[in-house]
Amino acid sequence: MKTAKILLFYFLLIIYSTETLLFFFIKENNLTSEDIINKRIEIAKKRRLEYDTRTREEAFLDFKKINKDLEPGFYYSPAFRFEKTFNDARKNNRIIPFRGPINAQSLTCAEDLKYRLIENDKYGFKNSNSIYKKKINNVLLGDSYAEGRCVNAENDIAGNLIKKGFTTVNFGVSGTSPLVALGIMREFGEIIKPKNFIYLYFEGNDLEGLDWEKNDSHLINYINDEYNINYLEKYDQIKDFLKLYSSESISYINSILAKKNKTHKKNTLKVLRENLIDILELKKIKHIIRYDIFNKKYFEYDLDFFFLVIEKMNLEAKKHNGNYIFVYVPHCGRYLSLFKPNLLKEMINLQKIILKELDKKGVITIDLTSFFDTVQNVKQYYPLGYYGHFNAKGYKKISDIIASKLN
């Protein structure tokens, strides 16, 4: 019995010593937001560029002092699932807007360490209201890549297509997946009636986001061909929601900045606690066993449901005598050496499955990896040549590729 206890002790000692060494010497594949910000600042310093070190909350309040009409952005996405206004509306079956604010400015992110203010139209999307006075050629759908995260409207994909003579409405909504895009098509398609519905699919998280969307009691209804909520007739309810959300969001921003020093101390303790839990749970060893030894899949998604949603989008476009165009957007991690070989291989295999199936279904596709895979200096298309969405040059290049297809 004593020998067994000694053996168990040494076994645990070896296991946890190994886990501790792995923790300190094997870098985590997932970058934290703090890692990313620090790296951006380091790059900006090396290049002697001007940069803004304020948090988004600090920048918002500073801009708010000089622009009383500035409002916080809202997106019908998992990122807002813990917001009180959002949850109250879901529980009580009240209208939740796809995006906001309405007829007001909001603050962009700062992946190049520069904040910008953007205009939002009468429906809450990133457009000028004047666009609706024209005959619309294209509707742009999708997540932050369609929206044009972190750049001004004139430098996003829709803005560049407009410069090329394609009147384009930007219905992109950050943090969303195909089901929200289908909902927007259903609610706005009959009114806008564009020639083309262009959907940007991002390989980084759209399938993961779809798992959340299909469990949303409202969004899942858009799978039914006749379902819509007459969104535009609910304008007052949408404004009421955004007013409540704005008040909640600004109160939250004020509260976290008031507690900034205490929060920093708490966050440090939280990180230490989380690291200790990871070691005790043998997170690194389990990861190696699952993915490196047994080759367990990184991605396990409901592809049947994904293809069903895409099929519904294609049919919705045809219902309005328009074309549906599926644009495959690669993750920057492919080109910035951020992925482990096994993960990258699996991502590429998943891409092949998706594009092959869409081809079978007769869906028009544009595969952006066909371009980015051949570029020598791909960093030129990302902010500061580092992790993030595309920069103005990257969005312009994508608009060139899409425009060539439209022509």
What is the DSSP code string of 325-347? EEEEE--GGGTTT-S-HHHHHHH
Digit-by-digit pLDDT tens for the chain (407 residues) are: 677 667 666 676 787 677 677 666 665 556 788 888 999 999 999 999 999 999 999 999 999 999 988 999 999 999 998 899 999 999 999 999 999 999 999 999 999 999 999 999 999 999 999 999 999 999 999 999 999 999 999 999 999 999 999 999 999 999 999 999 999 999 999 999 999 999 999 999 999 999 999 999 999 999 999 999 999 999 999 999 999 999 999 998 998 888 765 555 555 655 666 666 767 666 666 556 655 665 555 568 999 999 999 999 999 999 999 999 999 999 999 998 888 788 888 999 999 999 999 999 999 999 999 999 999 999 999 999 999 999 999 999 999 999 999 98
Q: What are the residue ranges spanned by the domains of the chain?
A: 17-48+259-293, 56-254+299-406
Pairing of strands 99-100, 74-75: antiparallel
Residues 6+ apart with CB under 8 A from 349: none
> Beta partners for 225?
none
Distance from C-alpha of 103 to C-alpha of 122, rounded to nearest angstrom: 5
Q: Lay out the sheet containing 323-329: strands in order across.
A: 168-170, 138-142, 196-202, 323-329, 364-367
Question: Which helix (H) or strand (E) covers residue 211, if one does?
Answer: helix 206-213
Q: What is the pLDDT of residue 339?
A: 80
Q: What is the pLDDT of residue 295?
A: 56
Q: What is the pLDDT of residue 338?
A: 81
Residue of 179, 186, 159 lying closest to 170 (CA atoms)? 159
Choose among 306, 300, 297, 301: nearest CA to 358: 306
Q: Return the CATH fold of 56-254+299-406.
A: Rossmann fold (3.40.50)
Q: What pLDDT was estimated at residue 49?
A: 94
Q: What's the pLDDT at 363?
A: 97
Backbone angles phi and psi of 199, in degrees to 5: -105, 125
Task: Taking the CA atoms of 198, 201, 202 and 207 in sequence, report the sign of the dihedral they define.
Answer: positive
> Quick one: tokens of 232?
């535009």
